[in-house]
């Protein structure tokens, strides 16, 4: 087989219409073999002929899309020195645009013999391995352009590609659980009816099913075990996995964009599926272990792990950083995604030990003309020094606000002395973000997510019930700030059921009317339950999938959620771009925001610290919005009054005087979701009786 020199750029396998250029980085390699596989699995090998700037490369004419390939790297094998090359192990291309097949776990995938970690295993891993695939880069985007929905107008919907559609009766069987299924008109119509502006997809980078799970008859459902940072996961493809998954993913993005819905990817750049020093050799470990992974400084046999997965990507090395940035740019430019949520983002900023706001990764993102323009969402947590880093990311970044989650849960459980913290979170968490000149949009507000209880389970269980995971219920968070409202799990008690439904509406109303960017967990609007399991990472089955037949029983909740998103979209007072100041508006005696006691008077210092269930009124002044519209005109909105009773007993509220508003209309009543008996028009200084655990939203159209 005759191979041409080719080019060192770009990395990966690049088809140009006449052939394919192959390029791979390795500083430690002495020789690299390109391995080509026929349809029957027959392997042919050819040495990459050129090495330039630590990149090995070659060009094969007449090799095109659909070609399966991999690499074998010849170089030093000295684990004590952090060197782990072994040409017996077939390696995935770190820049592979598509990956075919799945791993068949066996000793051949490991560099040592089981039971003897000091031994060397030269068994060929190819029969057990996945293969990289050359893809066709050409696709008709038909005029697709970035939507660039402003953060303050965004409503994010966290979704799982497979779980969203596996049971939907309106989707053909052959595309359920796939990219095509998510792009089906019935799914797009559901998302549009909810008013969401973006889907945040749980990991779609090619991932691996852990051997420990496979041995227990389980699977990696969430996907936080990446091995291919450029390849859409082949398990979500319906039309083939020899490159077809790339076209199917692009088609999905195009369809969602046409519906006005952005696509945000949950990405896992902090670690890979190769695990710790006893893990398999699948790709990075065998190519250049010291470049790609952070090793223990005084004993490079072992991996420096801030992720809890066995390894951490080496963000101190230029090649790892290039890999991450190239991947991000690829997904934006070639796959047209609109942003990223970074799993364990703190680990990407640990060049040494502590999270560094000046880390090279942040600098690269900030300077990049492509990546800096899309949505960047950090999960501000890892297991390294300092732990939880919410509020610690630099400008340009937004953050999953776990403090918002905990506070809202505590508030509606009626936890005493939670009102002050609630006020900070409801108004956009200025204490976390304002000092960095960030705005309320820096706070991605959520109450539930994939990691934890669903909304249905949050109000139905006091304790986690994770027995199905096979870990004796030791996995998952134990302190969930949940409340079963009188019965653990399903119940026929109508009083308990009614209270639970009211609490779900309370939480959703709070979430969608808070300052910041709201995120809804998929299925919460449908009453999705995981039967008390708060860690379904390994449950690729009906336990974690949305049950669309059961969802029909929650039409009231679904419609209620849609009304809330419509209310938020219609009123800029709920999506301000700047923090409240708590000061009177020029020409008025009324503040831009006011916190009022149930008797209609302003809250005093002692009121914030009383050891009782929180009961409060919040006044939002539509005349006090400091923002301007796209043509520079002042934004003016209706004013709103929110009455919140998180206590065990009904509460009498006295509305404030005419200075706050002369005519009020009830827009939301969580105790009466259909507003069947709420067609009243409360008057200034009037009195309203609010049931326990409920919330009322009033709108003033005339001041």
Catalytic residue annotation: 343, 379
Q: Which tokens go with 371?
A: 């990546």
| Contact (CB, 8 A) for 89 and 122 | no
CA dihedral 531, 533, 534, 538 (to 10 degrees): -130
Question: Kind of pairing, strands 339-342 and 375-378?
Answer: parallel
Helix or strand holding residue 555 (H, E): helix 555-570
Q: Which tokens go with 57?
A: 């490369």
How many angstroms separate the CA atoms of 177 and 344, rounded? 26
How many angstroms separate the CA atoms of 280 and 282, rounded? 6
Question: Kind of pairing, strands 339-342 and 262-267?
Answer: parallel
SS3 665: strand
CA-to-CA dists, residue 643 to 345, 422, 483, 669, angstroms: 37, 14, 22, 10
How many angstroms separate the CA atoms of 430 and 410, rounded? 20
Q: Which tokens go with 463?
A: 């304790």
How many angstroms separate the CA atoms of 311 and 289, rounded? 11
| Contact (CB, 8 A) for 685 and 600 | yes
Short-list 570, 524, 599, 584, CA closest to 668: 570
How many angstroms separate the CA atoms of 516 and 152, rounded? 7
The rounded Cα 9 to chain-centroid distance in angstroms is 31
How many angstroms separate the CA atoms of 86 and 122, rounded? 8
Partnered with residue 485 across adjacent β-strands are none
| Contact (CB, 8 A) for 8 and 51 | no
Q: Counting Cβ atoms within 10 Å, is residue 608 exposed (0-12), middle (13-18) or buried (19+)?
A: middle
How many angstroms separate the CA atoms of 289 and 29, rounded? 11
Instruction: Compute how many other C-beta atoms are within 10 angstroms of the C-beta atom of residue 676.
Output: 8
| Contact (CB, 8 A) for 378 and 400 | yes
Q: Which tokens go with 202?
A: 């749980």
SS3 397: coil
| Contact (CB, 8 A) for 141 and 181 | no
The rounded Cα 109 to chain-centroid distance in angstroms is 31
Short-list 219, 156, 202, 164, CA closest to 528: 164
Q: Counting Cβ atoms within 10 Å, is residue 636 exposed (0-12), middle (13-18) or buried (19+)?
A: exposed
């Amino acid at each position: 087989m005759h191979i041409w020199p080719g080019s060192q750029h770009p990395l990966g396998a690049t088809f140009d219409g006449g052939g394919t250029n192959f390029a791979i980085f390795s500083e430690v390699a002495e020789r690299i073999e390109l391995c080509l596989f026929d349809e029957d699995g027959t392997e042919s090998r050819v040495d990459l002929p050129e090495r330039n700037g630590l990149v090995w490369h070659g060009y094969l004419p007449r090799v095109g899309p659909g070609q399966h390939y991999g690499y074998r790297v010849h170089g030093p094998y000295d684990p004590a020195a952090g060197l782990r090359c072994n040409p017996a192990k077939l390696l995935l291309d770190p820049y592979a645009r598509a990956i075919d097949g799945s791993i068949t776990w066996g000793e051949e995938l490991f560099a040592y013999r089981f039971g003897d970690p000091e031994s060397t295993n030269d068994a060929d891993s190819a029969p057990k391995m996945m293969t990289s695939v050359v893809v066709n880069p050409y696709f008709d985007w038909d005029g697709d352009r970035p939507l660039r929905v402003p953060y303050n107008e965004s409503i994010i919907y966290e979704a799982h590609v497979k779980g969203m559609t596996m049971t939907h009766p309106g989707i053909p069987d052959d595309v359920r659980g796939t990219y095509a299924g998510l792009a089906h008109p019935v799914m797009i119509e559901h998302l549009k009816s909810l008013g969401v502006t973006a889907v945040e997809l749980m990991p779609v980078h090619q991932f691996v099913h852990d051997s420990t799970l496979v041995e227990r008859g389980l699977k990696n459902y969430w996907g936080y075990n990446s091995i291919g940072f450029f390849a859409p996961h082949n398990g979500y493809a319906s039309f083939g996995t020899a490159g077809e998954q790339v076209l199917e993913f692009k088609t999905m993005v195009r369809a969602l964009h046409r519906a006005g819905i952005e696509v945000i990817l949950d990405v896992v750049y902090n670690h890979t599926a190769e695990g710790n020093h006893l893990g398999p050799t699948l790709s990075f470990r065998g190519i250049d272990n010291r470049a790609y992974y952070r090793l223990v400084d005084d004993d490079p046999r072992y991996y420096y792990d801030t992720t809890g997965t066995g390894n951490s990507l080496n963000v101190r090395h230029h090649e790892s950083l290039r890999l991450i940035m190239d991947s991000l740019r690829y997904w934006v430019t070639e796959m047209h995604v609109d942003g990223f949520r970074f799993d364990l983002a703190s680990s990407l900023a640990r060049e040494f030990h502590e999270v560094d706001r000046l880390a090279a990764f942040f600098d690269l993102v900030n300077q990049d003309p492509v990546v800096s323009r899309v949505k960047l969402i950090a999960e501000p947590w890892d297991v390294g020094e300092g732990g939880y880093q919410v509020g610690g990311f630099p400008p340009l970044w937004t953050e999953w606000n776990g403090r918002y989650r905990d506070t809202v849960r505590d508030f509606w459980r009626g936890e005493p002395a939670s009102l002050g913290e609630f006020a900070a979170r409801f108004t956009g968490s200025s204490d976390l973000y304002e000092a960095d000149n960030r705005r309320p949009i820096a706070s991605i507000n959520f109450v539930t997510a994939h990691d934890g209880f669903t909304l249905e389970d949050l109000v139905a269980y006091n304790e986690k019930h994770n027995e199905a995971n096979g870990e004796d219920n030791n996995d998952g968070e134990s302190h969930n700030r949940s409340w079963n409202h009188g019965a653990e799990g399903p119940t026929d008690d109508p009083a308990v059921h009614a209270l639970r439904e009211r609490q779900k509406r309370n939480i959703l109303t709070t979430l969608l009317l808070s300052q910041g960017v709201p995120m809804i967990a998929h299925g919460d609007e449908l009453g999705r339950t995981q039967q008390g399991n708060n860690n379904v990472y390994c449950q690729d089955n009906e336990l974690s999938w949305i049950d669309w037949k059961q969802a029909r029983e929650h039409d009231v909740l679904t419609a209620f959620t849609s009304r809330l998103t419509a209310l938020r979209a219609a009123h800029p007072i709920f999506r301000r771009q700047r923090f409240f100041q708590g000061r009177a508006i020029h020409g008025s005696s009324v503040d831009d925001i006011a916190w009022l006691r149930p008797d209609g008077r302003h809250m005093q210092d002692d009121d914030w610290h009383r050891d009782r269930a929180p009961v409060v009124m919040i006044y939002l002044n539509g005349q006090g919005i400091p923002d301007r519209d796209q043509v520079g005109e002042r934004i003016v909105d209706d004013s709103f009054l929110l009455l919140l009773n998180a206590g065990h007993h009904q509460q009498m509220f006295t509305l404030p005087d005419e200075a706050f508003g002369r005519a009020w209309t009830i827009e939301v009543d969580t105790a009466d979701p259909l507003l069947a008996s709420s067609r009243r028009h409360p008057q200034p200084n009037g009195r309203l009786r609010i049931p326990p655990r409920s919330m009322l939203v009033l709108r003033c159209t005339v001041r």
